[in-house]
Amino acid sequence: MRKRIEFNMLKYCAECGAELKSEFKYCPNCGSVVINESSTIKEKYEETAAAKVSSASIICEVCGEENQASDLTCTSCGAKLSGAVISSKKISTEKKSGTKVKSSKADRMRQKRIPVQPTTAAEKKLDLTKISLISISSILIGLVIMIIAGVFDSPKIQNVNPPVDQSTGGNINLANLNKVNELEAIIKSNPEDLKTLLDLAHLKNDTGLYEQAIQNYHQYLNKVPEDADARIDMGVCYYNLGNYDEAIIQITKALEYQPKHQIGHLNLGIVNLAAGKLETSKEWLKKAYEINPNNEIGNKAQSLLQSH
């Protein structure tokens, strides 16, 4: 009996031409399905086409999800697939070469969940330091402006009578002393000359001889107690000596004789302010302003109210 000699015929991949063993079902080089020689030409083409389809994919243009080429709608977002078919080999090559590939919906959702890094303690401390420095600088600038504007200057109490002109500009000078001596000589010879006595008290007040001026004011007011101007001027002397309580007593008494005395109200506001009685000071300053808000005394009262 004649034996049939059998031998293995070599096969080659229809896609890449690689040599194949008979038992291979897929090409080890390109992954294509090995076409069975016994199949018809139509079957060979169908198998090859099916292999290509199974190894290809399509990218959704809406969400970027990778789908199989046979899918009609995106498995991620449900949109109709209309993009170009890309082979799996091409996709893997793009990933390896660093070509940018659209991220999937899952990737984008993961990115959204990444928390923002919180501000560190050092950064917070730095911000607080900057804010503190800016605040301190603003306060210092404001204080400098207020000092220049004279807000913190001690208010000057108003004399009812204008000061006597002084040639040297000092409180006590030779001309004033000569005038004082002259008036005292007149009063000594005529103690009932109340006008000269009042002039002498005013001159000593304006010259800075406050204690002597107070004595002359008392002598005069014992004869003319209702003279509100003279009593207010005596209160100014007590204020300049730092005796705020007595100054308040004398000026308040002057207002009993002349209730609408605007300078008296203003001076009571200033004396109480110097004595630390802020609320009482505001009451007197407000009354001084209300008596006549349009003159110099009213403007001074309003300025003190605004600054204190």
Q: What are the pLDDT digits (tens) for 190-209?
A: 999 999 999 999 999 999 99
Distance separating alpha carbons of residues 136 and 10, to the nearest angstrom: 92
Q: Kind and range of the H or E element at 247?
A: helix 244-257
Which of 57-61, 128-132, 226-230 has the lowest average pLDDT? Answer: 128-132
Indicate if the pLDDT at residue 129 is higher than 90. no
Domain 174-307 has CATH 3.40.50.150: no
Residue 219: predicted pLDDT: 95
User: Are 230 and 224 spatial neighbours (Cβ–Cβ below 8 Å)?
Assistant: yes
**Rounded CA separation 249/268 (Å):** 10
pLDDT bracket for residue 216 (50, 70, 90): very high
Q: Where exactly are the structural domains of the chain?
A: 9-54, 56-106, 174-307
Say what the pLDDT of residue 100 is. 42
pLDDT band at 65 (very low <50, low <70, confident <90, very high): confident
pLDDT over 50 at 163, yes or no? no
DSSP symbols for 80-102: BP-SPEEEHHHHHHHHHHT---P
The reported pLDDT for the residue numbered 261 is 96
Residue 123 burial (CB count, 10 A): 10
Please identify which residue in the block is written with the tokens 């001690």. Answer: 154
Check pLDDT > 80 for residue 94.
no
| Cα separation, 210 vs 190, whole angstroms | 23
Task: Tell whether pTM > 0.85.
Answer: no
Q: Where does the pLDDT of residue 49 fall: very low under 50, low under 70, confident under 90, or very high at 90 and above?
A: low
DSSP secondary structure code for residue 170 in this structure: S
Which residues contact residue 27 at a Cβ distance below 8 angstroms, ignoring those fewer than 6 apart? 13, 15, 16, 18, 20, 33, 34
DSSP-assigned letter for residue 14: T
Tell me the range of 35-49, 61-75, 124-138, 231-245 where mean pLDDT is highest: 231-245
